[in-house]
Amino acid sequence: MNMESDVKPAERKITTLAMLNPGLQAAIRRIPAEADAVIEPIEATRPNAIFTGRERFAREQERIFRRFPVPVTLSALLPEPGSVVAQDGYGIPLLVARTRDGEIKAFINACQHKGSKLVEDCEVHRQSRLTCPYHAWTYGIDGKLIGVARSEAFENLDKSARGLKELPAREWGGVVYVQLDGRADPDWSQLSERVAEDFGSLGIPSAHVYGRKTFDLKANWKVVLEPFLEGYHVQRLHAQSIGDQFPDAPNIVDMFGANVRQISGRIGYTPAMLDADAGANVHKLVTHAYTAFPNCVVVTSQYYISVMLLFPRDVDRTVVDYFMLTPEPAGTPKAEEVFKRSYELILSVFGNEDFRAAEISQQGLAAGVPAETVYCGLESNIIRYYDAIEALL
């Protein structure tokens, strides 16, 4: 008899309060009972041009997305040494590889002969070499040029000088950050130790990628980001899906530089629930939502974690890589059923609700209306985040 056939994924591997790091536990303990939460009104606006202006978009590219390392993919996508994936989200052809000794490296996905892409799709490939489709120059996944077809036809070709162009890369709490402009001395200071520690506690570095989907949205990246920084829309935009699970209450927010951590109780939450069952899945009571600098969104759910990388492609275009992470692959048909249903639900909630809201808002903004966006006390984390990134512009 299979002893595990009745084990639900949540029971097989869950996160309890005690498994979280002390800072995260303390933050969770600050969440008031839903009935005691107080909404503080605020007066705040932002000019339309931050979502529609070319000058602002160019400044963000220069002062944020090219100046600091930015997230390109997840460690969990490349668990195996000797695997590689292409990433075009930023409009630069990138390759991210986990070398045979387990190290993450990033390269420009371009052959040193004439620039051809080496990997044309965005699937994960398990292979130790990359062969250019054009004239078949071959590289190791450590970037070294190891083979040139008809090499005797080249005079003085120094293979050691024609390896793939490498970009500085680092794994940070399970997110792979890359310095896109390739400068040799990246400024890693915007990456928060606290966020990396939390992501470790939540199991993000060692998670399983259950599902992955790319969205190409007609909206500015901040318009796409905003719903993940506010609870105001949840009971309204999501009225037909998940709205009834989340109260209209401000969340506990901590800023770590330009990284935002929001923690909130589910509907009807009281702090006593935390201690009622020490072995309980903490994700049933509490939702975590992070914006890791500058465009990585993490949202926890009961049985899985959503990670989204919002790649700004143009002032009114954002490519989103969505990842659904589970603690491990589904071990039973029942677990697979739970994951499958969760995946369908979350793609529908984010895709048909949050991302749709972003696209229809961009249309109004592009028509110049409103001249300034207005924010309330249930949206104050948007303003905190904007203050932090505007300080860098």
CB 375 within 8 A of CB 44: yes
Q: Report the amino acid identity of residue 110.
A: A
* Beta-strand pair 104-108/259-265: unpaired
What are the residues whose beta carbons fall under 8 Å from the beta carbon of 194, sequence distance 6 or more? 23, 254, 256, 259, 261
The smaller minimum CB distance to ligand FES, of residues 145 and 286, is found at 145
Asked whether position 71 contacts Fe ion by CB under 5 A, the answer is: no
Asked whether position 61 contacts ligand FES by CB under 6 A, the answer is: no
| Residue whose pair of structure tokens reads 């506990």 in the numeric block | 252
- Structural tokens at position 185: 């001395």
- Structural tokens at position 151: 């090499």
The residue within the footprint of Fe ion, chosen from 82, 227, 231, 312 (CB under 5 A), is: 227
Asked whether position 59 contacts ligand FES by CB under 6 A, the answer is: no
Q: Among the candidate windows 131-139, 310-318, 352-360, 363-371, which touches ligand FES by CB under 6 A? A: 131-139
- Give the DSSP letter string of 288-332: EEEEETTTEEEEE-SS-EEEEEEEEEETTEEEEEEEEEESS---S
Asked whether position 111 contacts ligand FES by CB under 6 A, the answer is: yes
CB 93 within 8 A of CB 86: yes
CB of 138 to ligand FES, least distance (A): 9
Q: Among the candidate windows 86-94, 127-135, 228-236, 238-246, which touches ligand FES by CB under 6 A? A: 127-135
Partner from ligand FES, Fe ion, none binding residue 354, C-beta < 5-8 Å depending on class: Fe ion
The smaller minimum CB distance to Fe ion, of residues 257 and 351, is found at 351
The smaller minimum CB distance to Fe ion, of residues 46 and 356, is found at 356
Q: Give dist(CA 25, CA 30) in Å, integer.
A: 9
Q: At what angle do helices 193-202 and 22-29 cross, to 10 degrees?
A: 90
> Taking Cα atoms as reference points, which of 346, 259, 260, 238 lies closest to residue 300?
346
CB of 349 to Fe ion, least distance (A): 7
Asked whether position 139 contacts ligand FES by CB under 6 A, the answer is: no
Q: Give dist(CA 293, CA 306) in Å, integer.
A: 16
| Number of residues engaging ligand FES in binding (CB under 6 A) | 9
Partner from Fe ion, ligand FES, none binding residue 218, C-beta < 5-8 Å depending on class: none
How many other CB atoms are found less than 10 A from the CB of residue 25?
15
Q: Among the candidate windows 55-63, 100-108, 321-329, 353-361, which touches Fe ion by CB under 5 A? A: 353-361
Q: Give dist(CA 393, CA 383) in Å, integer.
A: 15
Q: Among the candidate windows 54-62, 128-136, 211-219, 327-335, which touches ligand FES by CB under 6 A? A: 128-136
CB of 118 to ligand FES, least distance (A): 7
Contact positions vs ligand FES (CB under 6 A): 111, 113-114, 116, 132, 134-137
Contact positions vs Fe ion (CB under 5 A): 227, 354
